[in-house]
Structures are given as C-alpha cells and as structure tokens.
Chain A
Amino acid sequence: MYRKFVNARSPLRLLEKGLNGGLGIGNIGVLVAGHGVGKTPFLVGVALDELLRQGTVLHVALDQTVSHVRAHYDTVYEELASSTHLDDAAATHTEVDQHRSIRAYAPSGFSAAKLRDAVKVESEAGSKPSLILIEGLEEISREDLLDVGALATELAAEVWLSFATSGEQVTGIPEEVKALDDIVSVVLALEPGDGSVVLRALKDHDNPDLSELHVALDPKTLLLVRN
C-alpha cells in the first residue's frame, strides 16, 4: 500500500474523530494505563503515524534506555509495514528514523527547562518536533507542566505524557492528573479488554459527552487497530 493510504486508513484518524479533531496543537494529552499494558507501543503507534505523515518526533524516556525505546519503534514499524504491505518499507524506515529522536534521562534529572534545552539542540541540528512524547514521568509540578504547554504552543506541537497506574483497570482520572486538569486537554485510558487492549476517553477537551473511540491496541502485534 502507498504511504498515503496507510495514513488515511490509520486507526488514529478514528481517534481524531472520536476526540473531535484530535488532541490539537499546543495541547497536552495524558495516557493512563497499568504497567506493561502497552503505553509504549501505543505512543510509538502515535509517533509512527506522525512520522509517516512527515512530522518530527521527540520521544523522551525517563524509564528506559535509548536503545530500548528504539527497539520498540523497530518492532512496531516492522509489524506496521508488513501488515499494510507498505511500499518502499526499507527506505521509509530510514526516513522515519531520521525524523525521530529519543532522549533518555534519569527520572529526577528531567524538567521543563531540560525539555526546552533538548528541543533547542534538536531544532538547531535538525528540525523542530511536531510531536513530543514523555514517558515515565512520576510527578511534575504545575509550573513545569504549564511550561511544557507553553513550549507546545511555541512549537505548534502536540504533547503526550504517559502515566502509570497500579492496577490494570483504570478507575478514573488519577488524582495526580486531576490536580492538573486545567492544563491537560485530553486524558485517555488504555485497558485490557476482550482479546485486545482498549482505548477509552476520560477527558476530551471541554466536551461533557465522551464518545466511544473505537481504537484499540492489538496485544499480539502491538499495532493500533480499529475496534
């Protein structure tokens, strides 16, 4: 399949629909899930979608090494390329790699200021990120998150954070996230369901009615699928 069609048929288009246009540039979204449920594969799926649409991704990891995150990308990319019979898969892989940068920090070594530094260096050497993913954040202060939001606006980028809960089922927006509710635009939960891992909206901008998202993560292939 041509890349164009892969993009058009991506389950993420469905997610955007469910969220009335998606996260939106300048906005922060939070993905909530239990350990090992699939936060990384989900975010990698989001990132690959962005990369296949010519975007640039900065993937910040506070809980994994660079090579670990990279291996996730390689795995998901290979699955995606083979399941969609993507044309020119090898060359596209190289291109995708070139527009993605991974940064690893110790959890305590990270802050909004660090992120600004990183973005500055990355932008000078290559291009500005249009999507920023931050994984493994255990806590973040209100000021820092506000600054991350400001940075997203300056860059016209979207920002996704992942947040780990202790159980597999997510009971609601976690307290830590709730306290920052006004800064966060979207909160999604990822939970094991019947044979797949299902995505559910806990917050969708200012929408009082949360719609069904019809997007899931296939735990066998680690690909995002329609549900």
Chain B
Amino acid sequence: MAMNDLSKTRNIGISAHIDSGKTTLTERILYYTGKIHAIHEVRGKDEVGATMDSMELERERGITIASAATYCEWDNHQINIIDTPGHVDFTIEVERALRVLDGAVLILCGVAGVQSQSMTVDRQMKRYKVPRIAFINKLDRSGADPRRVTQQLRDKLAHNAVMFQLPIGLENEFAGVIDLITLKAIYFEGEEGRDVVEKDIPADMVDAAAVAREEMLDAISMFSDELMEAILEERVTEKLIHEATRNGVLSMDLTPVFLGSAYKNKGVQKLLDAVNRYLPSPFDIENTAVDLTNDEAPIIVEPKPEKPVVALAFKLEDGRYGQLTYCRVYQGVLKKGTSIINSRTQKKVKVGRLVRMHSNEMQDIEESSSGDIVALFGVDCASGDTFTDESISVSMTSMHVPAAVISLSVKPVDQKSSDNMGKALGRFVREDPTFRSEVNRESGETIISGMGELHLEVYVERMKREYNCEVETGAPQVAYRETISKSVPFDYTHKKQTGGSGQYGRIAGIVEPIPAEEDAPDFEFVSEIKGGSIPTEYIPAVEKGFRMCLDKGRLIGFPVLGMRIIVNDGKSHSVDSSEMAFQAAARGAFREFYGRAKPVILEPIMKVEVEGPQEFQGAMLKSIMQRRGTVVGTTEEGGYSRTESEVPLSEMFGYATDLRSLTQGKAEFSMEFARYLPAPGEVQKELKEKYESKVPDDD
C-alpha cells in the first residue's frame, strides 16, 4: 500500500435520511473492501451497537461499523469513512464531523426520495462546501423510481444531478445497471454480488442508454472545454469524461447519480469506483487555520509531509479499548513517539500510540500520512482541540457556531483581578468559539455567555486558577429570543416638520415569519421596489433601520430572529427625504407592525441526557418531568439506564444538586443546546410582566 500517495486518499462521509440504507451500504463497503468477512443482516441493529459499545449484541456481531471513522481500501485508494449523523442534532460535534470530510456520498431511498432530513443535512454540507455524489438505493423495492428521485435532487435540493447509470429492471426485477460511460451492462454476480460482470446492454435498452448518455455528456461538458471539443469531434474518451465530472463535482456544480440496492448487493462497487474517481483527495481541498502568533490571521494548511504537523481532534470516543481521540491531520505527519502541543492549553502531549480504526479492529501505525484520519490513544484533550508541532501555533477553528444560550455578568473583586480579566477573557474567546464576552453598553458590566451553566462555571474557575482573577458573578440569564408568528402587511409614513427642512419617508410591504429550520437566516430583507417609489439609494437605509430594531425585541428586549421583511412600495419627497428619514421610517414601521405580527418569546431548549443505575430510573425521569421536560426515551443496558430528554434551559439551574440528592450521587447528566422553541403561555406572560415592570415604556 502506498501510504503517502495522498492523491489516493478519500475522507468521506455517508449522509442519509434514516432508513435509506446507510448502515447496509457501509457494511457492504466494508465487506467488498475486505474489512469484514461476512455480511450480517442489518435491521438497524448496528445502530444500537454503535451507541452502546459495551452491548452484548455488538460483541455478537463483532463489528462496529459506526465508529467515528473507519478505514478501508478500494482499488489502491485509502478511504476513511467518517460517521456523519443522519438526523441532525444541531451540535458542534456534528459540525466538526462535517468539517473533517473532504467529500460525501448522499444516499437516497429510491422509493421515498428526498426527505425532510436529507434537506437539512444537505444544507449543512453546502455550508462546509463538501462535494457530493449521490447513490439512489433500494431500487429492488416496489415503487422505486430513480428518475423521480434524481428530479427531486434537482427540485428540492437544487443539485445539478445527472444520472451516470440506468437501472436494468426495477423493483423485483432490478438486475443491474447500465454504465453510461462505458455503455456496458453491469451485473453483480457470485457470492454476495462480489463479481462485477460486464455484459452487452440488453437489446431493448440500447436506445434509452444512448439517449441518457447524450444527456449526461451534455451536462458534464460544461466542466471541460476539452470534453466539449471531443464531443463535437466524436472522440470522447473515458478519461475525458472522468476529468470533466471530477471538475464539476469538486466545484460543487455537479452531482453524479449512481444506482443500486445495497441490500441486494448491487451497485456498491461501482459507487466505490466513483468515490475514488470523483470525490476530492486532501490535495483538492484548501483548508485554513488561524495563526495564534499573528493576531489570528488566516493561514493555509497544506497536506505536505515536510511541513509542521497540524491536526484537529474532531471526536473523542470512549471505546472498549479506552479513550480514543480521532484526529484529522491537515498538515505534516503525526509520528508515534513525538511530542505535540495542544494549541488551546499549550500543553505538550506525547503521541504514545497511533492507530487506524478498521471496522472491527485497530491497527497500530508508526505515522500518519498528511491529510489522513487517525486515532490517538490516551491523550488528554477536548473535542475541537488543535495539535501542532512545537514550531508553530495555529488553530483550526472557524466553525459555524450556535448562538449562546446563557449569560452571566462578571465583576472583578479587586484591581489585580480587574487587570487580568481582559487577558483571560480574550484568551477564552479565542479558544472556544461558543464562549463570548462583551461589555453591556447600558450598564457597563462585562457579560460572558456560552452554552450552559456549567460551561460558564468552568471559565470562571479558570479565571481564578490560571489568571489570578477573582470575579463576582451575577445570576445566570437565559438568552431568550423573540420572533413573530404571523405574516402582516405594513404601511408606514415617517413625517416630521421641524423648522426649515423636514423628514419624509413612506415604506410599505409585508413582514413574515421564516420557518424555524436549522439554517434559516435570522433575518432577511427583500426589496421588491419597482419604478423607484423608494429611490435606490435609500433602500440600504431602510434595511439598516430594520436591522437596528432586531437587537431588542419589543416583548422582553431580547434579539429578534426568524423574520423576513419584504418592502414593495413607498414614497419619497424630493426635499425632505434622506437616509435618516427612511431609517426612521423603518424603525417606525417595525414598532407599528411588531405587535400585530403576533410576537412570541423563544426559549433555548437543551438536550439533556441522564444516566444512572436502573433503580434510580424513576427518580431520573421525574427530575426531568418536573422541569417542563419532554422525555424522548430511555435506553437500558447492563443495569444502567440512560434517559434522553429535552428541557428548557431556564429550568435547569441547580439541576446537578437536585439530581445528586435524588440519586445518592449515582447519576450523571450531560447537557447541550438543542434548539429554540416558543415558551408556553404562562412563561411568556411571566417574562413579559417582569420585563415591563423593569423598563419604562419608550413609545
């Protein structure tokens, strides 16, 4: 195996809606690449095994196909399959997994097609600029229709999806695929479909194949002038097609579509060929880090072995072998026995054992290649930490970061603390993208905010320990949000006559809620002004006026999100109109329509997991229910039970203490932000009353 031929490395994710066949496909891949020696029927059991490492079941099957990263080889290429959660939990963990991918296979069920969750995952992939190829699975099932699914990829996900294969038969009769590049029929014969057999295209499909090939060539010729010429001159080669396709995929302008049935062992090998051919190698992707010695200037990290090592710890896993840290090496080489620095803590750690995870076993290696994915043993670090050589200090950050959900005021107790506080906070903010610090304009207080009570406590403690900075903290404040729930028209005129020149601006339009999807923008401004009813030069002022109002909603003074404002009419005055007047008109309009648009308060909901001995199950459940929590479910294994739930953050204060006393200290919990949801009526009322009693009416 050519360890260092990086152009032959693929770091990919397989993304799918539940039940589209991700597990089945992964298992087939591991089988064909020789990593496992038998195919087990999936039935989703792996899912159980994947999260419950110790479970008997998994031992029975002897494989963990859903570890954070699995290594396999196909046709002289090294493929790392990185686990990408199918149902989107909006966590930094998921973001990290997406970040370390260079490319992905998007699996779709040939019957159900593009489902809601494929849409969310796809949006995230777009954000991380992950090139994709598609695999339409389950063509053996009744109702399978790859053409329709391809069309959905175009319509619903806006992919330039192009079929590279045609199915030979469908449903019960699904027999194989026609490769539109080679114009051959491909069948998967022998034991578990291991033998890929090429035959002539069935006579009744020759014409259809010719037409489909033309369509395909037409679509991909956009990505290569050479191919375009070759088509005209009728001297198209496979190589030219592959190159053009690869160009299209890498620029994310093309999604080639492959077909099969993982379950019936059809099409998987051809998909692997496509992964090698079209998805990027680490060379093809530009990655940047920030230079910690140079004011966080961005610098490009390159997968060159001679450069100083830079690796990102993207996932920590408590496996049955102990704590494993999965790292993506972005630059240089990680070598066993060397020392590396954690750029967050500045602590030096030794690379004791370096391994590569295979589906069911691990292999010790001496060094990683540059651009590879490997795991370290027994390294103390946090997920998201960057490791580097001693010679440089950089950090792989800049991820999409969810909004902070809780804040706290901090006040230094003495001068010394006051001097040190800025330094400490500056440092923390750099290290941890979810931690923020700002000075409140009105009160002059320093406010720190983050993802949970504990999260902030850790930093307060660190200020004291590491920076000799002692602070008094205020009561934790939940970061509520406001949004509107009804679409309403508005028409507002701002008119003022003071002495000589006046102010005049009229704006009209519609304000509407943006549905609360993961990636929905917080605010959208659309101008549909035609015919200059508002002069173009004033439109930015209108937008600015609206944006100024978003910081402070009129219900309880928290930021407003999920609002789209469409301005479609207005009026100006040749003398009295100005940017200022239109800005004021926008603010006035906002004040006027906000109440009518049925504003609601959103509260942060946390995903809370409580785990403890089974005899405390009842107590653990009750502790959740009492906090306006919703129990999603409970998993029982080996005398322990783990309850997953969603609880409003405002109810979680003091939970650690309560849980301890309810369970004699035998249960543990973890908590992370899940999403914002409208607060129930009584809570809304209470919050409003509290706010109104504090703030004088400013209308």
With A and B bound together, what is the CA distance between A222 and B18 in angstroms? 12
Distance from A31 Cβ to chain B, minimum over Cβ atoms (Å): 15
Known: A106-B52, A106-B56, A124-B618. A75 touches B143 (CB 8 A): no
Inter-chain CB contacts under 8 Å: number: 140
Contacts of B18 in A (CB 8 A): 68, 71-72, 75
Known: A36-B263, A68-B18. A103 touches B633 (CB 8 A): yes
With A and B bound together, what is the CA distance between A168 and B115 in angstroms? 23
Known: A71-B86, A102-B633, A121-B621. A94 touches B19 (CB 8 A): no
Contacts of B87 in A (CB 8 A): 67-68, 70-71, 74
Residue of B nearest to A197 (CB): B142
Distance from A38 Cβ to chain B, minimum over Cβ atoms (Å): 9
- Is A49 located at the chain interface by the 8 A CB criterion? no
Contacts of A72 in B (CB 8 A): 18-19
Contacts of B635 in A (CB 8 A): 65-66, 103-105
- Whether A195 pairs with B618 at a CB distance below 8 angstroms is no
- Is A179 located at the chain interface by the 8 A CB criterion? no
- Is A85 located at the chain interface by the 8 A CB criterion? no
Residue of B nearest to A62 (CB): B48
With A and B bound together, what is the CA distance between A94 and B138 in angstroms? 33
Known: A68-B18, A68-B44, A101-B631. A106 touches B138 (CB 8 A): no
- Whether A69 pairs with B633 at a CB distance below 8 angstroms is yes
Residue of A nearest to B143 (CB): A219
- Is B397 located at the chain interface by the 8 A CB criterion? no
- Whether A104 pairs with B48 at a CB distance below 8 angstroms is yes
* Interface of chain A residues 96 through 115 with chain B (CB within 8 A): 97-98, 101-109, 114
- Is B55 located at the chain interface by the 8 A CB criterion? yes
The B interface, classified by DSSP as helix, strand, loop or mixed, is mixed
- Whether B43 pairs with A164 at a CB distance below 8 angstroms is yes
Known: A121-B618, A219-B143. A63 touches B633 (CB 8 A): no
- Is B17 located at the chain interface by the 8 A CB criterion? yes
- Is B636 located at the chain interface by the 8 A CB criterion? yes
Q: Name A65's contact: one of B19, B48, B112 (CB within 8 Å).
A: B48
Contacts of B17 in A (CB 8 A): 75
- Whether B19 pairs with A192 at a CB distance below 8 angstroms is no
- Whether A126 pairs with B631 at a CB distance below 8 angstroms is yes
Distance from B108 Cβ to chain A, minimum over Cβ atoms (Å): 12
* Interface of chain B residues 567 through 598 with chain A (CB within 8 A): none
Distance from B670 Cβ to chain A, minimum over Cβ atoms (Å): 14
- Whether A222 pairs with B112 at a CB distance below 8 angstroms is yes
Q: Name A108's contact: one of B56, B138, B141 (CB within 8 Å).
A: B56
- Is B693 located at the chain interface by the 8 A CB criterion? no
Known: A63-B45, A125-B618. A114 touches B636 (CB 8 A): yes
- Is B111 located at the chain interface by the 8 A CB criterion? yes
- Is B113 located at the chain interface by the 8 A CB criterion? yes
- Whether A195 pairs with B634 at a CB distance below 8 angstroms is no
Distance from A80 Cβ to chain B, minimum over Cβ atoms (Å): 12
With A and B bound together, what is the CA distance between A9 and B342 in angstroms? 61
With A and B bound together, what is the CA distance between A103 and B636 in angstroms? 8
Distance from B162 Cβ to chain A, minimum over Cβ atoms (Å): 23
Interface 1/0s, chain B 340-378, versus A by CB < 8 A? 000000000000000000000000000000000000000
With A and B bound together, what is the CA distance between A196 and B678 in angstroms? 37
- Whether B632 pairs with A36 at a CB distance below 8 angstroms is no
Q: Name A219's contact: one of B47, B141, B624, B632 (CB within 8 Å).
A: B141
- Whether A97 pairs with B617 at a CB distance below 8 angstroms is no
- Whether B141 pairs with A66 at a CB distance below 8 angstroms is no
Distance from A110 Cβ to chain B, minimum over Cβ atoms (Å): 9
- Is B57 located at the chain interface by the 8 A CB criterion? yes
- Whether A66 pairs with B112 at a CB distance below 8 angstroms is no
- Is B625 located at the chain interface by the 8 A CB criterion? yes
Contacts of A164 in B (CB 8 A): 43
- Whether B111 pairs with A136 at a CB distance below 8 angstroms is no
Q: Name B57's contact: one of A36, A74, A107 (CB within 8 Å).
A: A107
Contacts of B44 in A (CB 8 A): 63-64, 68, 136
With A and B bound together, what is the CA distance between A105 and B171 in angstroms? 34
Residue of A nearest to B113 (CB): A220
With A and B bound together, what is the CA distance between A36 and B25 in angstroms? 14
* Interface of chain B residues 654 through 692 with chain A (CB within 8 A): 677-678
* Interface of chain A residues 145 through 173 with chain B (CB within 8 A): 164, 168
Contacts of A121 in B (CB 8 A): 617-618, 621
With A and B bound together, what is the CA distance between A72 and B677 in angstroms? 20
- Whether B143 pairs with A196 at a CB distance below 8 angstroms is yes
Contacts of B86 in A (CB 8 A): 71
Q: Name A70's contact: one of B111, B625, B633 (CB within 8 Å).
A: B633
- Whether A65 pairs with B47 at a CB distance below 8 angstroms is yes
With A and B bound together, what is the CA distance between A118 and B87 in angstroms? 26
Residue of A nearest to B145 (CB): A220
- Whether A36 pairs with B138 at a CB distance below 8 angstroms is yes
Known: A70-B632, A124-B618. A106 touches B116 (CB 8 A): no
- Is B4 located at the chain interface by the 8 A CB criterion? no
With A and B bound together, what is the CA distance between A68 and B86 in angstroms? 9
- Whether B56 pairs with A102 at a CB distance below 8 angstroms is no
Known: A67-B87, A106-B52, A106-B57. A192 touches B618 (CB 8 A): no
With A and B bound together, what is the CA distance between A101 and B632 in angstroms? 6
Contacts of A63 in B (CB 8 A): 43-45, 47-48
* Interface of chain B residues 228 through 265 with chain A (CB within 8 A): 263
With A and B bound together, what is the CA distance between A72 and B115 in angstroms? 11
- Whether A193 pairs with B142 at a CB distance below 8 angstroms is yes
Distance from A103 Cβ to chain B, minimum over Cβ atoms (Å): 5
- Whether B47 pairs with A64 at a CB distance below 8 angstroms is yes
Contacts of B263 in A (CB 8 A): 35-36
Residue of B nearest to A73 (CB): B632
Residue of B nearest to A71 (CB): B87
Residue of B nearest to A198 (CB): B142
Residue of B nearest to A138 (CB): B43
Q: Name A71's contact: one of B117, B636, B637 (CB within 8 Å).
A: B117
Contacts of A227 in B (CB 8 A): none
- Whether B57 pairs with A78 at a CB distance below 8 angstroms is no
Interface 1/0s, chain B 16-54, versus A by CB < 8 A? 011100000000000000000000010111011011100
- Is B339 located at the chain interface by the 8 A CB criterion? no
Interface 1/0s, chain B 192-211, versus A by CB < 8 A? 00000000000000000000
Residue of B nearest to A95 (CB): B630
With A and B bound together, what is the CA distance between A192 and B144 in angstroms? 11
With A and B bound together, what is the CA distance between A197 and B141 in angstroms? 10
- Whether A109 pairs with B636 at a CB distance below 8 angstroms is yes
- Is A40 located at the chain interface by the 8 A CB criterion? yes
With A and B bound together, what is the CA distance between A108 and B60 in angstroms? 11
- Is A176 located at the chain interface by the 8 A CB criterion? no
Residue of B nearest to A79 (CB): B116
Contacts of B52 in A (CB 8 A): 106
Contacts of B630 in A (CB 8 A): 94, 97-98
With A and B bound together, what is the CA distance between A200 and B197 in angstroms? 39
Q: Name B116's contact: one of A40, A75, A98, A105 (CB within 8 Å).
A: A75
- Whether B621 pairs with A122 at a CB distance below 8 angstroms is yes
Q: Name B625's contact: one of A74, A75, A107, A125 (CB within 8 Å).
A: A125
Contacts of A136 in B (CB 8 A): 43-44
- Is A1 located at the chain interface by the 8 A CB criterion? no
With A and B bound together, what is the CA distance between A136 and B41 in angstroms? 13
Distance from B89 Cβ to chain A, minimum over Cβ atoms (Å): 8
- Whether B633 pairs with A66 at a CB distance below 8 angstroms is yes
- Is A8 located at the chain interface by the 8 A CB criterion? no
- Whether B632 pairs with A67 at a CB distance below 8 angstroms is yes
Known: A75-B116, A164-B43. A101 touches B634 (CB 8 A): yes
Sample of 6 A–B contacts (CB below 8 Å): A36-B141, A64-B48, A71-B86, A102-B632, A108-B57, A136-B44
- In addition to A101-B634, A106-B57, A196-B142, 5 A-B residue pairs with Cβ atoms within 8 Å of each other are A68-B47, A98-B630, A104-B633, A122-B621, A192-B142
The 7 closest A-B pairs by CB, nearest first: A102-B633, A192-B142, A66-B633, A125-B621, A71-B87, A104-B635, A219-B111
